[in-house]
Amino acid sequence: MVDRYERLVADLRAEMPRFRIVRKDRSRLHRAIHIVLIGVTFGRMRSYLDSYQTTIGKTVYVTSDWDDWSADQRYVTLRHEAVHLRQFRKLTLPVMAVLYILVPLPMGLAYFRARFEMEAYAETIRAAAEVWGKSLPGSASYRKYVIDQFMGASYGWMWPFRAQLERWYDRILATIDVVDV
């Protein structure tokens, strides 16, 4: 039996022939990013290699425990990363990288990063509702978890306006018409 994760991987391969999934800890680029992040955060950011799934260009880089995740969890995460794959395809890697990392600020007010992530987290919310029922993204704790991604350290404090993020979240949720699973 093919689960929804495997089906999504096959669909993405059909859509983007050079799409691939690579383990982050086996990538020289990501080991280098890891070392840079330790440097710029004075040692506080040590979890990059084993905490975040990261998409660059046509590649989704995953943590070493990826294969131990449930197929549903991998599916929901890959739905988020698929949005980034399409953003890279639309904007090209150099444009996407500059906008994502630097514009207008690398930390504190990262407008483009927040916009790219809003688009991707909207997909996370929709996929979570599809897999676990709308009551999960509809819960206060899930809403807080998503909004904290924007306001906290994980993405460099990319967007500080909580009320705006809450309105965005509720707007996405309101467009989902799955009742429950």
**Contact flag: residue 56 with Zn ion (CB under 5 A):** no
Closest contact distance (angstroms) between CB of 53 and Zn ion is 8
CB 66 within 8 A of CB 107: no
117 or 130: whose CB is closer to Zn ion? 117
Site string for Zn ion, 92-121 (x = CB under 5 A): -------------------------x--x-
Closest contact distance (angstroms) between CB of 28 and Zn ion is 22
Burial 109-125 (b: 16+ CB within 10 A, else e): ebebbbebbbebbbbbb
4 or 86: whose CB is closer to Zn ion? 86
As a whole number of angstroms, the distance between CA 149 and CA 158 comes to 8
As a whole number of angstroms, the distance between CA 39 and CA 45 comes to 9
Query: Which burial class, exposed, middle or buried, applies to 37 when counting CB atoms under 10 A from its CB (0-12, 13-18, 19+)?
Result: middle
As a whole number of angstroms, the distance between CA 117 and CA 49 comes to 19
95 or 181: whose CB is closer to Zn ion? 95
Residues 124-153 that bind Zn ion (CB under 5 A): none
93 or 181: whose CB is closer to Zn ion? 93
Closest contact distance (angstroms) between CB of 114 and Zn ion is 11
CB 87 within 8 A of CB 16: no
Closest contact distance (angstroms) between CB of 105 and Zn ion is 18
As a whole number of angstroms, the distance between CA 28 and CA 165 comes to 35
132 or 155: whose CB is closer to Zn ion? 155
Site size toward Zn ion (CB under 5 A) is: 2
Chain residues binding Zn ion by CB under 5 A are 117, 120
